Structure 1
């Protein structure tokens, strides 16, 4: 007699044994974020629609930068191109209309010796609006997906793949790590600009361990919550006990070890590729791949959590690639021989070139192009080399698009001559919602996990109809956005 499946069994089956979808479709869905920023930028630069920030501005900001991403993965999941057209078309109409001058500096631009002093007063590592927008959009997409995946309105091809293939959520996990690597470059650049001596490796390891402890605690809380509440879990994602917080915690000390190697190998790109290639060689030339995929769960912790342990190498390569990108895009780079315009042009060219480089590396590693290529499939479960290259290529391309939009719509940002005007122009060019999600990214991610658990414990998500599903998801998106905005307004920041 066939045993009736419990709701927990159905939930686990709902997110298991999936094969993912097409990269071109994933690109079309993720293009919604830059398309929404295009419309936001057109409204702001031509109409000053979000300054001052009225209730109407808040609603429009939410619809463009949060709801559009949610709709792209749900209601418009089968027709993302249409949603892109709906966002881009009004932006074009606005751009064809009369141009409105952007706000000017309150003070007159300094000249002579004053100009030199003002230029020196600018931070060597400025706050770049396009980076805030990029990280904000990534956080919004991540937070929307972790709850939406529990509803049928979210296509199964967007959920995490079991073994081989590409999916939207697989890309999101890697992008979260890449983004962390990117912002980690700020501390290195500030260290260089102040000409301070870097701490010894033991000292840096101790500092990284202090940062890792809160993440380990969060990982333990999630572990005991899942086990204690008998919550549905996907064991082959990371293992029996492992979760993403443990991965984030362990990255910190390993990154510091590789940072010490930059005295010998000064390129983070090269370090990233060395880790990815070494790991891929081990997967292909030993029984490691078979062990991760097929070996029974033994009594040891390694056997029970082998996916999380070994995929750490792939995520380390992604983090290092993110740091490499951060070291390229964060510095100001203006000087007596290079104007702000030349520095921005150089930045765009570098981003475009590196985007192409990573795309080509991915294509020849994962595909069969013009009779060449390794044809190694992507695996998020392994975090293998094709996965590392895919995530890195995608994020560099996204950064290029956001940087291009900022350059076209808000050129006054990178032409500022003092801190006050730079901050003013930067705020004008940045969505308040994007800034809020970026400012407290990890805290918002944690809160979104709590909200997701609450919803799943309180209702049957997999049997909810489309109307109920969207009502819950929109309410969740609004509530999470409200929390992010409140934390930003009250200057609350959770430091981990």
Structure 2
């Protein structure tokens, strides 16, 4: 049995490995399914109010659009993602041009009831309101991540979507970076709040960062000992012998606290991120560090975990880029005049800024990889400059798409007369399932890792056919969605 288990482990390691990955265009087409599904959800909600009230039929439709569609995009439709996008886009167009549902009558206020607080958005009390398009972006990113970490163990999941060995682009490589970018995006909220007052001292910032880091580091050690104890299949070229993704996440907060001290010198997180990415790439190119990471023998603790230790600097740059994006995405948006020029909209509207920065990051990525530029190759293993720029460009583009969908389908969110009306409109413009995944994202991600290990230890995933694999994967993502919805319905937020 031990010999058979070791043989199965070696077979799985060979199966999961990916030498080249897929093209950026193919990955973008597959990931476009998430915004397209959200577009269909938004049209059904804005035109037909299909998800109010949230009936079992509405919940099932929500799951099929925002979970099952992503699963099918990365498995059965992986070779024809444009067809799946078309299948989602066609009913969205038809639903948009159907007569709108009659809105429910608002509750009549009794005589003498207090008037709304203000008629101007400037009078609304929450300076950082929850924005549906940010929830949709983070929720779909979490769904894709949870789907991929188990689906990669089945043959229905294309090998080109698995993490590459050294050079190239793949869906799972993009997912790891996007997770870090998304964490940086929401961390900007605390940075924005600190701007309104005096910045805490470095020691206080480090203590706060340590409180956030400790649970993640504990999870990292738990994963380390469970993987080694169960002899679970893993690739040392991913992070090293002992390192794992939880260690990377856990070390980000203290290093970000240190970089905040540089903010008085370079008052831009985007500039800090780009500077760090360039310096790290220069060190890779002009020293022996690249050769050490890729080819050195594993003789001591540093060499055994060199991928995780040195790629951390690339992930830190990605985190800072996400934080830079959050600095203009999270605050309440000012209302621009209807006759505002295009340049004014690009400079002052959230959608304009997202489009502008998408172009900036994409241009820098093209320059870093093109024949007439730096001629560099993307490497998730190194987390080098092209990888950092690719992740930043993709995530800004995704955010821009989700923001445009929100503006198109729910234009009345901005300019609400009072806090209660605003909260109600934002709630109705947000998928319940995506909100649930976003609310307890790290807890759901941990559960997904546990379920992935359980499935791999219980089932021969490599020998299962497509129909069996899809049944397991649908049950798996359905269970995750159910747990997330239950936690949300009971108003439980698990902070790790």
TM-score strictly above 0.5? yes
Task: Find out whether 1:238 has 2:239 as its counterpart.
Answer: yes
Name the counterpart of 1:175: 178
- Structure 2 vs 1, CA of residues 264 and 479 (structure 1 numbering), >3 Å: closer, same or farther? same
Question: 1:348 maps to which residue?
Answer: 351
2:380 alignment partner, SS class: coil
Kindly provide the CA deviation profile for residues 305-358 of structure 1, in whole angstroms up to 9, marking residues without a partner as x: 0000000000000000000000011111427x8689998972211111111111
C-alpha distance in 1, partners of 2:220/2:165?
22
Tell me, yes or no, if the aligned pair for 2:118 and 2:124 is still in contact at 8 Å: no
Shift of 1:102: 5.9
Residue range with higher mean Cα deviation, 209-218 or 94-103: 94-103
Structure 2 residue runs without a partner (length 5+): none
- Counterparts of 1:422 and 1:103 in 2: how far apart (Å)? 17
In structure 1, the gaps of 5 or more residues are none
The residue aligned with 1:306 is: 306
Q: Distance in 2 between matches of 1:49 and 1:316?
A: 41
For 2:440, the equivalent position in structure 1 comes to 440
C-alpha separation in 2, matches of 1:26 and 1:411? 30
Secondary structure of 2:462's counterpart equals coil
What's the CA shift string for 1:172-225, capped at 9, x where partnerless? Answer: 000000000000011122233xx3222101110111011111111100000000
User: CA separation in 2, counterparts of 1:492 and 1:113?
Assistant: 30
RMSD, aligned CA: 2.2
State how far apart, in whole Å, the 2-side matches of 1:180 and 1:149 are: 23
- Structure 1 residue 121: deviation in Å? 3.4
Q: Do structure 1's residue 265 and structure 2's residue 266 form an aligned pair?
A: yes
User: CA–CA distance in 1 between the matches of 2:149 and 2:294?
Assistant: 24
Aligned to 2:458: 458
1:231-279 Cα deviation digits (max 9, x unpaired): 1111110000000000000111001111111111101000000100000
Q: Give the Cα separation in 2 of the matches to 1:7 and 1:113.
A: 65
Whole-angstrom distance in 1 between the partners of 2:52 and 2:115: 33
1:26 aligns with 2:23: no
- Identify if the C-alpha distance between structure 1 residues 185 and 463 changes in structure 2 by more than 3 Å, giving closer, same or farther: same
> In the superposition, relative to structure 1, how do residues 27 and 101 fare at CA in structure 2: closer, same or farther (>3 Å)?
farther
The number of aligned residues is 486
Structure 1 partner of 2:425: 425
In the alignment, is the contact (CA less than 8 A) between 1:340 and 1:414 conserved in 2? no
Q: Does 1:122 align with 2:131?
A: no
Q: Establish whether residue 223 from structure 1 lines up as the match of residue 227 from structure 2.
A: no
Go from structure 1 to structure 2 and tell me whether the alpha carbon gap of 1:232 and 1:276 turns closer, same or farther (over 3 Å shift): same
The answer as to whether partners of 2:18 and 2:159 remain within 8 angstroms in 1 is no
Partner residue, 1:94: 95
Residue pair 2:12, 2:462 contacting (<8 A) in 1 also = yes
> Any idea what the Cα deviations from partners look like across 1:353-379, whole Å, max 9, x if unmatched?
1111110000110123xxx21120100
Whether the aligned pair in 2 keeps the contact of 1:119 and 1:417 (CA below 8 Å) is: no
Q: Which digits, 9 at most, give the CA deviation of each residue in 1:54-79, with x for residues without a partner?
A: 01001100000000000000000000
8 Å contact from structure 1 (residues 40, 61) kept in 2: yes
CA contact (8 A) 1:153 1:469 kept: yes
CA contact (8 A) 1:18 1:159 kept: no
Give CA-to-partner distance per residue, 1:11-70, whole Å, 9 cap, x none: 111122521011111010000000001110111011100000001001100000000000
TM-score (norm 2): 0.94
Rounded to whole Å, the distance in 2 between the matches of 1:188 and 1:57 is 37
The CA distance in 2 between the partners of 1:340 and 1:490, in whole Å, is 45
Residue of structure 1 equivalent to 2:48: 47
Inter-partner Cα distance in structure 2 for 1:113 and 1:35: 36
Which residue pairs with 1:144 in the alignment? 147
Structure-2 separation of matches of 1:259 and 1:491: 33
Change (3 A) 1:402 1:102: farther
What is the CA–CA distance in structure 1 between the aligned matches of 2:359 and 2:237, rounded to whole Å? 33
